[in-house]
Structure 1
Amino acid sequence: MDYFIYSLEHIYTDETHRDAKFIGFFDDIQELEKVKQKFLLLSGFSEYPNDFYIKKYELNKIHWQNGFTEVVGEIGRDYLPEEDCVPNYSYIIKKINQETVFKVSHTYTIHTFLDDEREIGIFSDKKMANDVIDFLKQKEGFKKHPDDFIIDEIVLNDQHWCSGFG
């Protein structure tokens, strides 16, 4: 059975830069909306109220397999598509009472002041996350940087940003 989670991020662009803040992963859209409403009251977020993004992430899917063979996107940064790419037959992860997920990413240093982080995927357990890393370490574009993978255990329905900005 296929499962998904929701992600809440705030990504804005002003005259000088683009900035992204990961707020959290959620297994309940109502809980996500409550958190979003709280953030709309904080400085920075209240100035950019239309820059919240809710995405669905398919669980246990590798979203980036190509490594760093070319620079793409905004100065090399790669973003997942804006549209939901979760199959209609997928179920929200809440059905399996998952408390945490494991986010796998890879960071590549382009030059002294610029790193490029690729989001690999969100996985249901640490073993699967490690298996994906072992698989990707053999692929072109990653095998030159095998020690740059990151696994973050993330608690669901918990906000990972807690203040305003600006």
Structure 2
Amino acid sequence: MKSFIYILEHIYTDKSHTNCKLLGFFDDLRELERIKNIASKFSGFKDYPNGFTIIKNELNKVHWSVGFHTVVGEIGRDYLPEEDLIDDTYIVQNLKFIFSISHIYTVDSSTDDERIIGVFSNLAMAEQVVEQLKEQPGFKDYPENFIIDEIELNQLLWSSGF
């Protein structure tokens, strides 16, 4: 059976740019809604109330399994099908923390290139994925640029407005 984690983000576009703020990872949709309600009262977030996005992410799956040859591309990213609706059918239970993997490097003084690799239930699995990806094109040129973040579930990761 597949297990999922839900990611709460806030994305907005103003006159000069688009910005994305990661608000948290959840295995409890009621907690996600509670956190969303709290964040919606912060300055900035309340100015863009339609910017909240929930992403359903399969746990323990590599969502970027190939390397890369160009800057910031979505080729290689394995998205969930659009018909895969947000629900609580396969929510993970009894985890306190998850391990999120990303890869980032600086292209130039104003551009970073970041790829979200996946969310994992334990550190050993996340470390194993990183070791395998270090051999892929692009990643092997920046093998030290993988980030594994240990993140507490069902917590607001953003403490103020913007």
Q: Does 1:126 align with 2:137?
A: no
CA distance in 1, matches of 2:92, 2:56: 11
Partner of 1:4: 4
Q: Equivalent residue for 1:19?
A: 19
Cα distance in 2 between the residues matched to 1:79 and 1:14: 28
Q: Give structure 1 stretches of 5+ with no counterpart.
A: none
Hey, what does 1:44 align to over in structure 2? 44
Q: CA-to-partner distance for each residue in 1:131-150, whole Å, 9 max, x for gaps?
A: 00010011112111111100
Q: Is 1:61 matched with 2:58? A: no
Q: 2 CA distance for matches of 1:84 and 1:6?
A: 16
- Using the TM superposition, give the Cα deviation of residue 70 of structure 1 relative to its aligned residue in structure 2, in angstroms: 1.5
Residues 1:138 and 2:157 aligned together? no
Match of 1:147 in 2: 144
CA shift for structure 1 position 109: 1.8
Q: Which runs of 5 or more residues in structure 2 are unaligned?
A: none
Q: CA deviation at 1:81?
A: 6.8
Identity %: 51
Shift of 1:117: 0.9
Shift in Å, 1:80: 5.5
RMSD, aligned CA: 2.6
Contact 1:11 1:53 in 2 (8 A): yes
Give the match's secondary structure for 1:129.
helix
State how far apart, in whole Å, the 2-side matches of 1:101 and 1:109 are: 26
- Structure 1 ranges of 4+ moved more than 6 A: none
Match of 1:93 in 2: 92
Q: CA deviation at 1:68?
A: 3.0
**CA offset at residue 43 of structure 1?**
0.9
CA-to-aligned-CA distance 1:89-138 (integer Å, 9 cap, x gap): x71112xx011000000012211221111000000100000000010011
TM-score by length of 1: 0.87
SS at 2:148 equivalent: strand
> Is 1:35 aligned to 2:26, yes or no?
no
Residues 18 and 80 of structure 1: CA distance in aligned 2, closer, same or farther (over 3 Å)? farther
The code of the aligned residue for 1:26 comes to F
Instruction: Quote the offset at 1:65 in angstroms.
Output: 2.2
State the shift of 1:82 in Å.
8.9
User: What CA deviation, in whole Å up to 9, does each residue of 1:41-93 have, x standing for no partner?
Assistant: 1111111000000111100111112333113459xxx896794758x9x7111
